[in-house]
Structure 1
C-alpha cells in the first residue's frame, strides 16, 4: 500500500500510510484502540474506501475496483481471519471451510476434499459436529483453514487471538505465523497482544496516522 489516507468524522486515521509485506513475511500492527489498525485491514479488504492512496495485493490493484471485481479479488488473493472467527455455528467445520470455494463456483467434491485436508493439517476434528460446539481454539483454527482454502497470496488477521485463553492463543498464533511462512503468504496481523506481535518479522505502530516501524523483533 502507498500513500493511504482515510478520514472519518473530521478525524484522520490514516495519513499517507506506506507498507509493503513480502511473500512469506509477517508484519504485526500494534497500538491502542481507535488508532486505525483495523481500519487499515478494512481498506485492504475493500470494505472501506480510502480517500487517497493505492493498495496492491498479490500484484492486483484493490483500490477502485467495482463490487464484482472486488469480490473476485477477495476470493482469489485475500484470506481473512477475524477475532471471533465469523463462522456459521450451525455448519460443520468442513462446510464452513469449503464455503469460499463453493461461493466462487467450485465443485462440491473438490471443495470438501480440500477443506478436510486443511482441517486435518491444522488439527481440527473432521466430522459432522456443528462448529459452534467446538472449543475456542478449534473454531479459530477452522477460521484459519477457511482463510487458506483459496490459497491466498495475502493473509489478514484482526485480533485473531483476542478471544482465546492463553493455551489456545499460543497454538493459534504459532499456526498463523508458521502457516503463512510455509505457504508463502504475506501476513498482515493486527493485535493488542505483545506476545503475538513479537512473533512477527516486523512490527509497526500507528503514530499520527502513519505507521512507524518498531524494528525487527526476533
Structure 2
C-alpha cells in the first residue's frame, strides 16, 4: 500500500511541548486509506495528544498534518471545523454518546449538524447500525450494553464517510468479549470503507490487529520492535 497516498493521513515533523515537557518530538507518520496503524506507549507519553493535534483541538508548535490532501494545521476555527467535518471522525473510549437519544438519533446527529436531510440521515443511520449489529428501535442508547454502545459510536464515526478515522482507547472500557467484537468491527469497517485508521491504545492485543504498530516514548515515535 502506498503510504504517500495524499488521500490518507500524513503527520510531518510534529513538535509539541507543554510546561517544559516535550510530548511530541519530530513525529512522522503516514497512514494510507484502507490501512490501520496503532500507537502504543505508557500513560502520559503523548498518544492522546497526537490524536488531539490531528483533530485540530491542540495546535502544535511545529510540523504539519494533512488529512485527505488538506493541510489542517494553522487553519482558523471555521475552516478547521469544516475540514474536520469533511475528512475526520473519532471514536472515543467511552463513546461520548447522548444516552437519552436512541442509537439511530445518535448516529444521525453528525449528518444533521452538517445540514443533511433528516430522512437521509436516519435511513443511513439505520443501515449502518443494522450492519454493525446494533438494535435500531427507540430504546435510549444509555440502556444498551457497553459493546452495543461502542458499536453505535463506531457507526456514528462512519456515517460521514471519513477519509481518516481516529480511535482513542476504543476498547478500554469493555469486557473481554465485547473488546474482541468491537476491535474486530473497527479494523474491518475501516478497511472495507477505505478509511485511514489511527488507533491509540494500551492494549497490545488490540494494537497487534493493525497493519502496523508504533510506540511513542519520550516524544519519539518508532516502529514497534525497532531499536
TM over 0.5: yes
Displacement after TM superposition at 1:76 (Å): 0.9
Within the candidate set 56, 70, 80, 1:70 is matched to: 80
Does 2:118 correspond to 1:128? no
The equivalent residue for 1:10 is 20
Q: Secondary structure in 1 aligned to 2:110?
A: helix
The whole-number CA distance in structure 2 between the counterparts of 1:115 and 1:169 is: 23
Contact 1:202/1:215, CA 8 A, preserved across alignment: no
Does 2:181 correspond to 1:176? no
The equivalent residue for 1:27 is 37
The whole-number CA distance in structure 2 between the counterparts of 1:32 and 1:119 is: 34
Contact 2:108/2:125, CA 8 A, preserved across alignment: yes
Q: Secondary structure in 1 aligned to 2:224?
A: strand
4+ residue runs over 6 A deviation: none
The whole-number CA distance in structure 1 between the counterparts of 2:120 and 2:78 is: 24
Contact 2:42/2:217, CA 8 A, preserved across alignment: no
Q: Secondary structure in 1 aligned to 2:31?
A: coil
Deviation readout 1:5-49 (Å, 9 max, x if unpaired): 000011000011000001110000001100000000000000100
Within the candidate set 53, 58, 63, 1:53 is matched to: 63
Does 2:44 correspond to 1:40? no
Displacement after TM superposition at 1:158 (Å): 0.1
Contact 1:3/1:54, CA 8 A, preserved across alignment: yes
Displacement after TM superposition at 1:208 (Å): 2.4
Deviation readout 1:155-196 (Å, 9 max, x if unpaired): 000000000000000000000101111111000000011110
The whole-number CA distance in structure 2 between the counterparts of 1:52 and 1:149 is: 32
Contact 1:155/1:188, CA 8 A, preserved across alignment: yes
The whole-number CA distance in structure 2 between the counterparts of 1:107 and 1:63 is: 30
The equivalent residue for 1:157 is 167
Summarize the alignment of residues 61-140 of structure 1 with structure 2, pairs less than 5 Å apart. 61-140=71-150
The equivalent residue for 2:8 is none
Q: Which runs of 5+ in 2 are unaligned?
A: 1-10
Contact 2:39/2:215, CA 8 A, preserved across alignment: yes
How many residue pairs were aligned? 216
Displacement after TM superposition at 1:71 (Å): 1.1
The whole-number CA distance in structure 2 between the counterparts of 1:103 and 1:30 is: 33
Displacement after TM superposition at 1:215 (Å): 5.6
Q: Which runs of 5+ in 1 are unaligned?
A: none
Output the aligned Cα RMSD. 1.0
